[in-house]
Chain A
Amino acid sequence: MNALLRRDIYRLFRTPLLYLFMLCAAVIPGSMSVMTGFEPGYDAWGQVSGLFSAGIFAIAGVFLAFFIGNDYKSGAVKNIFSLFPKKRGYAAAKLITGAVAGIMILLGYVLGAEVFGVFTGADFTSGLFDMLCAVVAKAGMMFLFSGIYVCVAALFRNKVWFSVFGILAVTMLFIPALLITLGTPLIMAGLSIAAGVIGLFVFPGIAALIMKRLDALA
């Protein structure tokens, strides 16, 4: 798994896809505020635990759909599976990389919210501690959701758009769980991290079962 993780992290930071998604995430807080009619009292730190922040998971999921789908679409997956790695290791590497990408996208969102707040003279009324708890909670949940997304992407392989729609559908199902992280106190941050750790161990196994039943190439 370490070798595959190293490969994926190298690829993550060498292709423009991640930076594109970070940019998309960064403009959400400001653009949503503008679209809903910018009102005084825009809370820059509060954006991190606001309703729109749940969309970060969907963005991270779409990113992962492309990241895994392009492995199959480009044929690069041949070079990986011809080394006969453990499928569980492949899935775990993708899960961790997806979570890292999700956290980077989240940080892009946070940065966008803060920059927009500074430029528009917004309030920074929410506690910094609460904001940090929300970031930690979302980061923990990223591991859980990344695991789910890897399973969906493993099912559809090179059919990237099927993966995208599948991931968006799954995200919709989990909206109540995402909303729990809004206004997150410390205990919720801890629970989210625990959920992420469980996901890290459970979902690679599920994804491996899916991949074992399907040929790497048709």
Chain B
Amino acid sequence: MYAIETHELTKTFRGTRAVNALNMHVPEGAIYGFLGENGSGKSTTEKMITGLMNPKSGSIKLYGKPHTDPKLRAEIGVLIEAPGCFPKMTVYDDLMMQAYAMNLRNPKQEVERVLKLVRMGGSAGRKFRECSLGMKQRIGLAKALLGRPKLLVLDEPINGLDADGMRIVRETLTYLNQEEGVTILVSSHILSELDKIATHYGIIKRGKLLREIKASQMSEESGDYVAIKTSDDRRAFELLSCNFETHPQKDGGIRLYGVDDNARVTSYLYQNGVTVGEMVNRRISLEEYYTRTISAKEAV
């Protein structure tokens, strides 16, 4: 079953299609990385999924039910843009307000639980406006975690976080996904962080979904490669290009695709007078895959 499924989802603003016939499928139990440039329609899509905007046309289903089902809404945690807290209220009071709005049984316990989860327990008495940007994002995440949701929709949750803050968020999301089975839809510009945790990706451009792919399929599709540096890269390129997909690198060295036996490559080059100085197996990065996909013009 899909946790989130959209069909021909469309939203226009003054005649411009911000989201254009989007067909998205977020599997249950996935961490779905939602990638796109600024203004590509990520936030608008997430706002429609969470009921903050009305679509012009199309449908949204969450766990097979219409996304407007009030009982279902209680099982979704949302962090869209800023955390939405009152500047002069304390962190604790703000979370308590949300706990009351959600009609939680033990609001105090629940607030303490989520503060501990995002490691903000010591800052509960602080006013929101006195918190750093990173702390504010973690408070927003804590708010989204109230009520033990089974689906999280997060828009740029690690914006403004330092390395330590990113690590805390990453560990929290990984824990929630692996230990509690929470499905997570997360958009971020920081691809290196998404690369560490996402199991699926959706790439959007100008409101259209270009590609949906599993993280494991991404490696197969794009190919892992071998990066080598030799005593004579030019000669090595001539020798290897007959048998492998070969790309010279700007900073020296060669990238080889389709290699299943590194030792054979080394031996072959040695026999032809070329010594291999460095040979490393590498996986294509999310950034490289994303850049390639964005420059193409396919659509799902």
Contacts and interface: CB of A to CB of B under 8 A. Distances in A.
Given A16-B88, A77-B84, A83-B70, 11 more contacts: A3-B100, A10-B93, A10-B100, A15-B88, A75-B84, A76-B85, A76-B86, A76-B97, A78-B84, A82-B51, A215-B53
Contact of A75 (B68, B69, B82, B93): B82
A70 B52 contact: no
A177 interface: no
Most chain-B CB neighbours within 10 Å: which of A3, A76, A77, A85?
A76
Contacts of A14: 89, 93
Q: Which 3 A-B pairs have the closest CB atoms?
A: A75-B84, A3-B103, A84-B73
Contacts of B98: 7, 79
A216 B87 contact: no
B100 A216 contact: no
B100 A217 contact: no
Contacts of A84: 51, 68-70, 73
Contact of B143 (A3, A74, A79): A79
Given A10-B97, A11-B97, A83 B73 contact: yes
Nearest to A17: B88
Contacts of B74: 83
A82 B73 contact: yes
Interface string B57-91: 00000000000111001101010111111111100
Interface of B: 47, 50-54, 68-70, 73-74, 76, 78, 80-89, 93, 96-98, 100-103, 143
Contacts of B100: 3, 6-7, 10
Nearest to B68: A84
Interface in A156-181: none
Prevailing SS type, chain B contact patch: loop
Interface string A54-88: 00000000000000001000111111111111000
A6 B83 CA distance: 21
Contacts of A2: 103
A127 B97 CA distance: 42
A194 interface: no
Nearest to B87: A74
Contacts of B86: 11, 15, 70, 74, 76
A79 B78 contact: yes
Given A10-B96, A11-B97, A216 B52 contact: yes
Contacts of A216: 52-53
Contacts of B85: 74-76
A4 interface: yes
Contacts of A81: 51-52
30 contacts: A2-B103, A6-B101, A10-B96, A10-B100, A11-B86, A14-B89, A14-B93, A15-B88, A16-B88, A74-B85, A74-B87, A75-B83, A75-B85, A76-B86, A78-B84, A79-B98, A79-B101, A80-B101, A81-B52, A82-B50, A82-B52, A82-B73, A83-B70, A83-B101, A85-B70, A215-B54, A216-B53, A217-B47, A217-B53, A217-B80
Contacts of A11: 86, 89, 93, 97
Contacts of B82: 75
Interface in A1-35: 2-4, 6-7, 10-11, 14-16
A82 B70 CA distance: 10
